[in-house]
Amino acid sequence: MEQYVIKGGNPLVGEVEIGGAKNAALAILAAAIMTDEMVYIENLPDVRDINVLLEAIKEIGAVVERVSPTEVKITGSTISDISVEYEYIKKIRASYYLLGALLGKYKSAEVPLPGGCNIGSRPIDQHLKGFRALGASVDILHGAVVAKAENLTGKHIFLDMVSVGATINIMMAAAMATGNTIIENAAREPHVVDVANFLNSMGASIKGAGTDVIRIQGVEKLHGTTYSIIPDQIEAGTFMCAAAATRGDIMVKNVIPKHLEATTAKLEEIGCQVEEFDDAVRVVANKRLTRTHVKTMPYPGYPTDMQPQFAVALTLAEGTSIVTESIFENRFKYADELSRMGANIKVEGNTAIIDGVEKLTGARVSAPDLRAGAALVIAGLAAGAVTGILHTVFNIPAILSGILTQISLWSINLRIMSGKSNLPLLNSETIISFFVSRSGSST
């Protein structure tokens, strides 16, 4: 078990370089097996979920060569098995992308139902509906999705709700179907566009990604490519919220400012100054923040993955703020934890009502999921003279590890320890237990 000790209470001031987008990278790695030629992927985030997915890809027979922590070569010509092991899948949500990739290429896939952060019920019915529409038979057998088709045929598919995962999965399978597919009510997230661009660089014909209608002309074969993944908008947004909550000044570099507009707009509303550059944003918070309302929505709305981090800033803003979560029903589990740190936050259904306080203080808290963990780290950094200890039952996942590494580089008081902490709980101390969901996955 690792533990993280953070001494907060100082404004975060510095520069941070954002890595590749985890959620784009996971889909792109799965899609990389769709050609028999070598694919070279750059700007990978060096996080646990990526390593788990690469292991799963290796396990089914692909050649995976990690050139550096941020680069990998994948060759799918040696794939011998279309059945993915539960061992890998239970750890990460994005394993479901292997369904679309294997089904598209081999017309057959067997992938256990995915794990992921416990933030709601998270069905994958829309993914399966899409595969069936393309002509596959899809069954759930012994906890796995078994999808098979003689041939996939393009179809006009209407998604019942906007789903990032379903849009990408159907796009992958349809890229190698016969004929044309149209996905209506498609997700417009930047990583949907990134995956479409990646597939197109392999010879696919996908148009309209980034709008709610995606048109795919199936091709018989995909070829090798070299591709660089877009920057992670959630990691960037997390640092932006950290600047706000600590009344700091952070230059967030290597970002696409357009992807951050929802966060930028909300931070400006609560009194931060946000300056946009070509590939950077600077967030300065030099006075007490003020209240606002925020509701999570599919892109370009305010991202659900940024909801807990922004809520921390609102706990310190003057006045009453309302946070409405409209994507996942179980995303306020961090609220009680923030209350222990002195926040005044009450949850009613999918709404949190936050009465801003002047400061947060230390307490024992536990983080129920990845983004909630990031939010509690921000709270620990903002809390005056507080020591935060972050326990993990698994490795600190994904983005959080990047954030903690960066914070330690800034010489904020962060210590990483192994083993169980024997430190006494003093009144200036926060103990954050990080319980990743049963599977240890991240979002």
The nearer residue to ligand UD1, 4 or 97, going by C-beta atoms, is: 97
Q: What does the per-residue mask of binding to ligand UD1 show for 107-126, with x meaning CB under 6 A?
A: -------------x-xxxxx
The nearer residue to ligand UD1, 65 or 125, going by C-beta atoms, is: 125
127-156: which residues touch ligand UD1 (CB under 6 A)? Answer: 127
Among 164, 241, 280, 312, binds ligand UD1 (CB under 6 A): 164
Q: Is 161 in the site for ligand UD1 (CB under 6 A)?
A: yes
Distance CA 419, CA 1 (A): 5
- Sheet architecture: strand order including 13-17: 13-17, 249-253, 280-284, 273-276
The nearer residue to ligand UD1, 163 or 263, going by C-beta atoms, is: 163
Among 327, 338, 367, 372, binds ligand UD1 (CB under 6 A): 327
Neighbours of 409 (CB within 10 A): 11
User: Among the options 26, 84, 117, 157, which is catalytic?
Assistant: 117
Cβ 147 to ligand UD1 shortest distance, Å: 14
Sign of the alpha-carbon torsion through 363, 368, 373, 375 = negative
Q: Is 94 in the site for ligand UD1 (CB under 6 A)?
A: yes
Distance CA 252, CA 229 (A): 17
Helix (H/G/I), strand (E/B), else coil: 229: coil
Q: Is 103 in the site for ligand UD1 (CB under 6 A)?
A: no
The nearer residue to ligand UD1, 73 or 122, going by C-beta atoms, is: 122
The nearer residue to ligand UD1, 262 or 281, going by C-beta atoms, is: 262
Tokens matching residue 328: 């996942």
Distance CA 127, CA 129 (A): 6
266-325: which residues touch ligand UD1 (CB under 6 A)? Answer: 304-305
Closest CA to 389 of 127, 126, 2: 2
Catalytic site includes residue 117: yes
**376 near 404, Cβ under 8 Å?**
no
- Across-strand partners of 38? 75
Alpha helices in 248-306 (DSSP H): 261-269
Closest CA to 403 of 236, 267, 233, 228: 236
Judged by CB under 6 A, the number of residues near ligand UD1 is 22
Residue nearest to ligand UD1 (CB): 165
Q: Is 99 in the site for ligand UD1 (CB under 6 A)?
A: no
Among 19, 104, 165, 231, binds ligand UD1 (CB under 6 A): 165
Neighbours of 141 (CB within 10 A): 8
Q: Which residues would be at the binding site for ligand UD1 (CB under 6 A)?
A: 23, 26, 93-94, 120, 122-127, 161, 163-166, 187, 304-305, 327-328, 443
Residues classed as catalytic: 117
